[in-house]
Amino acid sequence: MKLRGEVLVGCGLAVLASLITASAIAAHSHFTAETSSDQQAPAAQAGETTIVSGTTRDGDQAAPPPEKAAVNTSRQQVLPVPKEALPATKAREVRGNRSLPQRQPTPLPSRMTIILDPGHGRGDPGAVHHTASGEVDLTEAESNLAIAEHLRRFLEEKGYDVYVTRAGFGRPPTDGPLTRLLITADLWARVQLAKAVDGDIFISLHSNGSTNPRQSGAEIWYCGEHQFGAQSSRLAQYLLDAAMQGLKDYGYDAVRRGTQEDSTVHQSDGFCQFLVTREVHTPAVLTELLFLTNDADAAVLKDDAAREAMARRIAEAIDQFAREQGDG
Domains of the chain, CATH where assigned: 13-327 (3.40.630.40)
Q: Which residues contact 74 (CB under 8 A, 6 or more apart)?
A: none
Amino acid residing at 274: F
The pLDDT value given to residue 171: 58
Question: What element of type H or E holds 233?
Answer: helix 229-250
Three-state secondary-structure class, residue 136: strand
| pLDDT (0 to 100) of residue 268 | 80
Consecutive 10-residue averages of pLDDT for the chain (328 residues): 39 39 40 43 35 32 43 41 44 37 46 92 84 93 95 96 85 64 82 92 97 97 93 98 98 97 87 90 96 98 98 97 83
Geometric angle at alpha carbon 200, from 196 and 201, rounded to 5° = 110
Is 214:298 a contact under the CB 8 Å cutoff? no
Q: Which residues contact 79 (CB under 8 A, 6 or more apart)?
A: 7, 9, 11, 15, 16, 19, 189, 192, 193, 196
**Spatial distance between the Cα atoms of 154 and 173, rounded to a whole number of angstroms:** 33
Give the closest residue to 267 by CA, choosing from 62, 19, 108, 5. Answer: 62
Question: Is this model's pTM higher than 0.85 or not?
Answer: no
Q: Following DSSP, what letter does each residue of 256-318 receive, concatenated?
A: EEEEEEHHHHTT-TT----HHHHHSSS-EEEEEEEETTSHHHHHHHH-HHHHHHHHHHHHHHH
Look at residue 267 in the predicted model and tell me its pLDDT.
83
Q: Three-class SS of residue 178?
A: coil
Backbone angles phi, psi at 158, to 5 degrees: -85, 0
- What is the reported pLDDT for 299? 97
Q: What's the alpha-carbon Rg for the chain, to the nearest Å?
A: 18
Question: Residue 270: its pLDDT value, please?
Answer: 84
Task: State residue 172's pLDDT score.
Answer: 55
Q: How many CB atoms lie within 10 A of CB 218?
A: 24
φ/ψ of 296, rounded to 5, equals -70, -45
So what's the pLDDT on residue 185? Answer: 80
What is the rounded CA–CA span in Å between residue 55 and residue 128? 11
Please state, in angstroms and rounded to a whole number, the distance separating the CA atoms of residues 26 and 97.
Answer: 32
3-state DSSP assignment of residue 227:
coil
